[in-house]
Chain A
Amino acid sequence: PPPSTAGFGCVDRRDMNRKKDKGFESPRKSVIGYVELTIFPTVVNLNRIKLNSKQCRIYRVRVNDLEAPFIYNDPTLEVCHHESKQRNLNYFSSAYTAAVTAVDPDAGNGELCIKVPSELWKQGDEMKVLKVYIEFSLDQPKGGLHFVVPNVEGSMAERGAHIFSFGNQNSTRFWFPCVDSYSELCTWKLEFTVDASMVAVSCGDLLETVYTHDMRKKTFHYMLPIPTAAPNISLAVGPFEILVDPYMHEVTHFCLPQLLPLLKHSMSFLHEIFEFYEEILTCRYPYACFKTVFVDEAYMQVSAYASMSIFSTNLLHSAMIIDQTPLTRRCLAQALAQQFFGCFISRMSWADEWVLKGISGYIYGLYLKKTFGVNEYRHWIKEELDKIVEYELKMGGVLLHPTFCGVKEKDNPTPHLHFSIKHPHTLSWEYYKMFQCKAHLVMRLIENRISMEFMLQVFNKLLSLASTASSQKYQSHMWSQMLVSTSSFLKSISNVSGKDIGPLIKQWVDQSAVVKFYGSFAFNRKRNVLELEIRQDYTSSGTQKYVGPIKVTVQELDGSFNHTLQIEENSLKHDIPCHSKSRRNKKKKIPLMNGEEVDMDLSAMDADSPLLWIRIDPDMSILRKVEFEQADFMWQYQLRYERDVVAQVEAISALERYPTPASRLALTDILEQEQCFYRVRIQACFCLAKIANAMVSTWTGPPAMKSLFTRMFCCKTCPNIVKTNNFINFQSYFLQKTMPVAMALLRDVQNLCPKEVLNFILDLIKYNDNRKNKFSDNYYRAELIDALTNSLTPAISISNEVRTVDNLNADVRLILEEITRFLNMEKLLPSYRNTITVSCLRAVRMLQKNGHIPSDPGLFKSYAEYGHFVDVRVAALEAVVDYTRVDRSSEDLQWLLDMVHNDPTHYIRHKILSMLCKNPPFTKAEAADSSLCNEALVDQLWKLMNSGTSQDWRLRCDAVNLYYTLFGLMRPSCLPLPELGLVLNLKEKKAVLNPTIKPESGSFYGARDTNPLTLFQYPTQDEEDIDMDTVHDSQAFIYHQLNMLERPSTPGESPAHPVLLPMPAMPLPMFSKESSGSSKHGEHQHHHHHHEHKKKKKKHKHKHKHKHKHESKDKEKERDARGFSNSPASGHSLRSPSLSD
């Protein structure tokens, strides 16, 4: 296995010991620990080791018991340096990509550079094992580890205080120094010393738990013998309640105090998921044990790590809760799928991520199919397909397998994006979600091509190779079998199936974008032929051209027939011969695709044509959007008689365009039909509401769905009263929940919600009686409130009238009374997940928005505070975000941004930014005339993404997204002209330079190290091209080498990587001790920037002259400059007064 990292071979075993000290009254939120890495050099002359480490304070580093000097430099702390007045996103994105690359472990880089003591150099030839020992501490970490410490009386255990690790992709470096790469495997021995009342849950097998000598603490000893990458290591500590799975004793569940009954119920079916995966993969679960931990304030709902998963505690539910049950099961199934593909099998590089996400998503889909049924599965696939298609058409393509032939900007495979897809840490969160979605859809396409049997064989092969490899020693060089790569995966597929899936991969994996079809047809009666025309749009963004087979299903009078057409370059028209004549054989039943034979009323159809309906690509075997034109009656037949839920869903969306009595009838029939899939019926409700509104002048009878609802859910004797709740039949429960919501969307001729409907909903609320129900009705009541919200229409306002109670509309008064009562009752009897409060907050916002009550964010702000349930907070924040947009309130925008800075919950911070992106206070187009768009905001956001979010990759990308949404890629228009900016820049440079460089660096390092010595000298520009052979200045020489290492390793660039460097003799084998404190660090980073300015000045001028032609070149130069400045070797900052000695 070729070690991909430059500096060292592989890390075999790390011993870690983390001790947690917690005060009782004032928790210190700190961790101290050490890491011991055993390194087998695979290159001779290993003299530098680069590790990843963020925010850790490193006290000492020893290599084989010798003190080793080290440098710590993290260019991602501050991406662009503050004296730069550049404010365009292109600049930021490329700088950020460069910064991430500069510490990318896959490129052999890292924040922490350890110099192997010269005493050990000679041993390099013998390839002797190096043991690196690092002592570090973490104080109040802002990322990587999250401390939840409720502010109440009592001991930490009584308060339910807990800690867990988190992060987006490889983020383990936030909490201990490591090689933070998915491709560096090693075995682990982990030790955690925690308070005696706590349980430390981590990866691997718990060997033993031992008290410390004072008996006040316990040490948990874990051993993970399966080679595992550092990003798959996690930790959770808390006063957890422990539940051993009754079906599988090697599985242990952990939850916070008092939640055990919920845990028992929620985990009662986990064994089924285990059995399912083990059966289809014909492979045992790879780890000896499995742990699930449910934590509060989780970063993501589900995060999978080696042999354990961390979930949000909000997934737990009791037996009374209907709606959460399938969601929780899905989350568990996802987590477990990732145990096999993602944790056990890791990836070779970021470009291979799609294989892991694809396989885990695909087998998760199989689980869905088995547990929730084929209808649910197909419906899900359709939803996912719609999602990815919508995203790609809107935002541009999603590329699964990015290949980077060069580092040049023009080779960027995704120029349409405002971020780089080269690293997981530069991706927008939305994009990554879509990436995962596309990955599993593509896996399904592969399955379609090679059959499920072969697909599972491939997975089995990958797993069995990996498990063979996992039991081997490192020296056997087998471990790379545990890493999947795109090419090895494809090779397995071709070996197992013997099929060539090259075109498929090329189309969907190596290329971004989806296919957009337009279809229409004509029936040629003379020839009895269906003339189908399929056109493609492959010019708009996010689309690509498709060439290949496509399946078309035609339902005729005599049956259903599949045709496979070949989409070629120039052929648009396809002739499909029909089997039946258009004659009507009245008595005859019509055979369907599934063999069923049904009676149909054929009076609606065209007398000349035997065609009932036509479907293009019914199996969804292309990632496509199809806009197909057929007559309304054909859609109606398709809805009524086609048994595939996807077809029904498509028919319903098409029928929205045909508001006719016939459509109404078809939809009503579907609504009533109990055999019909409930999601289809739910969709039919909303479609029916739309149709009714379109037909408002000709509509006869009671409001749509009212009589239906009465018939299904009201008492026989008194039709205005709903039956007491009984949700034992889930299908009708979901329908009962949805119909009022859809009905409330009905509007009369005045465009108001009909009085009859409103009263009906109010009656439903009034007569709602759940006492005899074994399920909670909280979701049902919440949806009734949603129905009230939906019934709201804008108030008729007489110019700027202040909204008071007295001029409240009578209907609105009734609604408001209900909402008040619900919201108040919730304080006394909180509902599960506070669903009712969430709905009430939305309702209040709608009342405000429609001008019924005064618009005011105060209420929402109080609900958005820390200390409310997270769903409530999100709903309240959503309202504030909306208020900010509608009322253009800079004060509230500021309030939101402050929360992004300060809120303790990472999820909330992420959510605020993503909601601001979805519902921005202004957009690029509006920026010019929005009072919100000003220089201060630009600076604030810039600061946020530049340095304010360095502890959370996801948050930084969210901030980038927001910046993009508000200002676009170019320099925000509200800023002074760029030329002016440049002048300012120059001026400021002078102003900044003097105070930054001398006094601070001097005082800082001078104070710290009494006898510091640094090897680096401030290099001049010329020295960059220093010749190795002729150099005598060792310091410059070293600088040069380090700079080389910082650069991304590209095949051609680093032939001798790393090079043995004769280190200068040093009086003390010690580097100046680097502090990991971010603020201090940030400061000395500024220093080495001033030389860059000289360069930049030239460049800027240049740039503006030849803006377009040379932009890419300039960027490249800029990048070089940055690489140079970001390098730890730009160590003039380390220069201390004593260097002159």
Chain B
Amino acid sequence: MADPAVVSGSLNSRSGGSKAVAGPAENYVLARRRTLQVVVSSLLTENGYESAEKAAVESLTEMMQSYITEIGRCAKAYCEHTARITPTLPDVVVTLIEMGFNVDTLPVYAKRSQRMVITAPPITNAPVVAKALSTGQKRSHPSHIPSYFPEFPDPHTYIKTPTFREPVSEYQVVREKAASQRRDVERALTRFMAKTGETQSLFKDDLTTFPLIAPRPSTIPYLSALLPSELELQALEETDSSEQDDQTDSENNPNNIVSDDPGADKENSVLPSGGVVPTVKSSEENVIDNPYLRPVKKPKVRRKK
């Protein structure tokens, strides 16, 4: 079985697709592949072929690669089965036997006379395994664990690790930034609103420098004037009353304001709509005898329906 990563890597590189594959790793894989092709070609020559189609060589290379990979995988499995981390010769032998290979023939084959010597593959840097986010110090083994056991994983994967972000800078800058960001957003928003709607101006000759959104009479003016806006309600939920005068999250700020597009319907949805609450209340506290909560009586003289 081919290592999917390798295959896809090679295919991708040929089609010139993704640049996401890291350069050194790709080189390493290509070098290996080329060596394998050389090996396949020399074996073919050894067996008396003069030429081969490229596709055939590719297929054979693929088979070879699969075979070797399988040996490696299997040998590793045997080694790990016995709680070790490095495969030893017997592991490989057992593997070969398992795969139906007569091990005894191997020394003879290795020492055959007509074999071709091929140059060692060029030394390329082994691919650097991209380190997962490494934070904090890895712990060393305690004394009762032998050193050949695997290392502990990164501490953040199994114990709490505080994440520090370097404060952008000191308090003043944060406040400064928050303030100017908010101001910019407010100004942009109000200017936008002013441009899209009717405006008034304080100057007769200049209508754009200080555009004022024209007031629009509302049918029920007291609602917007008395009810807290959604933003305020939201802020109230988040607030804990303790003084927090240190860290301000400057990035939240514009979002907060932009996301708040006050519409009457939104406000309505936050507040219990009329009439619901009293009935709920009355059912909760049906002990209360208040004449306004009593059901309305039917007229005394009833008509036949």
Write the A827-868 contact mask toward B (1 if CB under 8 angstroms, else 0).
111101110000000001001000001101011001101111
Known: A317-B226, A816-B210. A242 touches B200 (CB 8 A): no
Known: A820-B212, A829-B260. A210 touches B290 (CB 8 A): no
B277 contacts across to A, CB distance below 8 A:
241, 260
List 13 A–B pairs whose Cβ atoms lie within 8 Å, in order of A's numbering. A244-B288, A257-B274, A260-B272, A260-B278, A718-B175, A724-B244, A771-B238, A805-B203, A805-B205, A829-B262, A832-B228, A865-B215, A869-B225
Known: A805-B210, A832-B225. A258 touches B268 (CB 8 A): yes
Q: Does B193 contact A (CB under 8 A)?
A: yes
**Neighbour of B179 across the interface among A208, A256, A769, CB < 8 A:** A769
Q: Does B160 contact A (CB under 8 A)?
A: no
Residue of A nearest to B197 (CB): A827
Residue of B nearest to A816 (CB): B210
Distance A259 CA – B271 CA, assembled complex (angstroms): 9
Q: Does A199 contact B (CB under 8 A)?
A: yes
Q: Does B303 contact A (CB under 8 A)?
A: yes
A451 contacts across to B, CB distance below 8 A:
none
Q: Across the interface, do A160 and B170 meet the contact criterion of CB distance under 8 Å?
A: no
Q: Does B151 contact A (CB under 8 A)?
A: no
Interface-located stretch among B3-11, B58-66, B139-147, B229-237: B229-237
Within 8 A of B (CB), among A756-809: 766-767, 769-774, 776, 803-805
Write the A198-227 contact mask toward B (1 if CB under 8 angstroms, else 0).
010000011111111101001000000000
Q: Across the interface, do B226 and A152 meet the contact criterion of CB distance under 8 Å?
A: no
Q: Does B294 contact A (CB under 8 A)?
A: yes
B85 contacts across to A, CB distance below 8 A:
none
Most chain B Cβ neighbours within 10 Å, of A242, A252, A770, A776 = A242
Within 8 A of B (CB), among A716-769: 717-718, 721, 723-724, 726, 728, 766-767, 769
B298 contacts across to A, CB distance below 8 A:
210-211
Q: Does A250 contact B (CB under 8 A)?
A: yes
Most chain B Cβ neighbours within 10 Å, of A209, A828, A871 = A828
Interchain nearest-CB distance for B44 vs A (Å): 75
Within 8 A of B (CB), among A247-294: 249-250, 252, 256-262, 289
Q: Does B222 contact A (CB under 8 A)?
A: yes
Distance A256 CA – B221 CA, assembled complex (angstroms): 12
Q: Across the interface, do B273 and A258 meet the contact criterion of CB distance under 8 Å?
A: yes
Q: Does B73 contact A (CB under 8 A)?
A: no
A residues at B contact (CB < 8 Å): 150-152, 159-160, 196, 199, 205-213, 215, 218, 239, 241-244, 249-250, 252, 256-262, 289, 296, 313-314, 316-318, 320, 715, 717-718, 721, 723-724, 726, 728, 766-767, 769-774, 776, 803-805, 816-817, 820-821, 823-825, 827-830, 832-834, 844, 847, 853-854, 856, 858-859, 862-863, 865-872
Within 8 A of A (CB), among B236-264: 236, 238-239, 241, 243-245, 248, 256, 260-262
**Neighbour of A854 across the interface among B178, B203, B221, B235, CB < 8 A:** B203
Q: Across the interface, do A721 and B172 meet the contact criterion of CB distance under 8 Å?
A: yes
Most chain A Cβ neighbours within 10 Å, of B213, B228, B239, B248 = B228
B residues at A contact (CB < 8 Å): 170-172, 175-176, 178-180, 183, 186-187, 189-190, 193-194, 200, 202-206, 209-215, 217-229, 231-232, 235-236, 238-239, 241, 243-245, 248, 256, 260-262, 268, 271-275, 277-278, 281-282, 285, 288-294, 296-301, 303
Q: Across the interface, do A726 and B193 meet the contact criterion of CB distance under 8 Å?
A: no
B172 contacts across to A, CB distance below 8 A:
715, 717-718, 721
A289 contacts across to B, CB distance below 8 A:
291
Q: Across the interface, do A804 and B205 meet the contact criterion of CB distance under 8 Å?
A: yes
Known: A314-B222, A717-B171. A773 touches B203 (CB 8 A): no
Distance A213 CA – B301 CA, assembled complex (angstroms): 8
Q: Across the interface, do B241 and A774 meet the contact criterion of CB distance under 8 Å?
A: yes
Q: Across the interface, do A320 and B194 meet the contact criterion of CB distance under 8 Å?
A: no
Interchain nearest-CB distance for B299 vs A (Å): 5
A213 contacts across to B, CB distance below 8 A:
299, 301, 303
Known: A258-B227, A262-B226. A718 touches B171 (CB 8 A): yes
Residue of A nearest to B194 (CB): A824
Q: Across the interface, do A313 and B290 meet the contact criterion of CB distance under 8 Å?
A: no
Q: Across the interface, do B299 and A313 meet the contact criterion of CB distance under 8 Å?
A: no
Interchain nearest-CB distance for A132 vs B (Å): 27
Q: Across the interface, do A715 and B245 meet the contact criterion of CB distance under 8 Å?
A: yes
Interchain nearest-CB distance for B205 vs A (Å): 6
Q: Across the interface, do B227 and A805 meet the contact criterion of CB distance under 8 Å?
A: no
Residue of B nearest to A262 (CB): B226
Residue of A nearest to B288 (CB): A249
Distance A404 CA – B212 CA, assembled complex (angstroms): 58
Q: Across the interface, do B202 and A252 meet the contact criterion of CB distance under 8 Å?
A: no
Q: Across the interface, do A767 and B225 meet the contact criterion of CB distance under 8 Å?
A: no
Interchain nearest-CB distance for A248 vs B (Å): 10
Q: Across the interface, do A824 and B212 meet the contact criterion of CB distance under 8 Å?
A: yes
**Neighbour of B171 across the interface among A239, A252, A715, A774, CB < 8 A:** A715
A834 contacts across to B, CB distance below 8 A:
225
Distance A823 CA – B215 CA, assembled complex (angstroms): 10
A803 contacts across to B, CB distance below 8 A:
203
Q: Across the interface, do B221 and A867 meet the contact criterion of CB distance under 8 Å?
A: yes
Q: Across the interface, do B190 and A314 meet the contact criterion of CB distance under 8 Å?
A: no
Most chain A Cβ neighbours within 10 Å, of B206, B217, B238 = B217
Known: A805-B205, A817-B210. A766 touches B278 (CB 8 A): no
Q: Across the interface, do B291 and A724 meet the contact criterion of CB distance under 8 Å?
A: no
**Neighbour of A816 across the interface among B190, B202, B300, CB < 8 A:** B202
Q: Across the interface, do A209 and B221 meet the contact criterion of CB distance under 8 Å?
A: no
B291 contacts across to A, CB distance below 8 A:
205-209, 289
Q: Across the interface, do A241 and B275 meet the contact criterion of CB distance under 8 Å?
A: yes
Q: Across the interface, do A869 and B171 meet the contact criterion of CB distance under 8 Å?
A: no
Q: Across the interface, do A853 and B288 meet the contact criterion of CB distance under 8 Å?
A: no
Distance A364 CA – B272 CA, assembled complex (angstroms): 35
Q: Across the interface, do A210 and B203 meet the contact criterion of CB distance under 8 Å?
A: no
Known: A206-B291, A241-B278, A249-B288. A824 touches B222 (CB 8 A): no
Known: A213-B303, A259-B227, A828-B189. A862 touches B215 (CB 8 A): yes
Interchain nearest-CB distance for B192 vs A (Å): 10
Q: Across the interface, do A776 and B228 meet the contact criterion of CB distance under 8 Å?
A: yes
Interchain nearest-CB distance for A211 vs B (Å): 5
Interchain nearest-CB distance for A812 vs B (Å): 11
Interchain nearest-CB distance for A204 vs B (Å): 11
By Cβ-Cβ distance, the 7 closest A-B pairs, closest first, are A867-B217, A257-B274, A824-B190, A206-B291, A718-B172, A869-B225, A805-B206
B290 contacts across to A, CB distance below 8 A:
244, 249-250, 252
Interchain nearest-CB distance for B78 vs A (Å): 62
Q: Across the interface, do B239 and A772 meet the contact criterion of CB distance under 8 Å?
A: yes
Extra contacts, 6 of them, besides A774-B241, A804-B203, A816-B210 (Cβ < 8 A), are A313-B226, A715-B175, A769-B179, A830-B224, A844-B202, A854-B203
Q: Across the interface, do A773 and B272 meet the contact criterion of CB distance under 8 Å?
A: no
Distance A244 CA – B293 CA, assembled complex (angstroms): 9
Interchain nearest-CB distance for B304 vs A (Å): 12
Q: Across the interface, do A772 and B205 meet the contact criterion of CB distance under 8 Å?
A: no
Q: Across the interface, do A160 and B220 meet the contact criterion of CB distance under 8 Å?
A: yes
Known: A804-B203, A832-B228. A821 touches B245 (CB 8 A): no
Q: Across the interface, do B219 and A867 meet the contact criterion of CB distance under 8 Å?
A: yes
**Neighbour of A862 across the interface among B171, B200, B239, CB < 8 A:** B200
Residue of A nearest to B229 (CB): A829
Residue of B nearest to A865 (CB): B217
Known: A209-B294, A213-B299, A260-B277. A853 touches B241 (CB 8 A): no
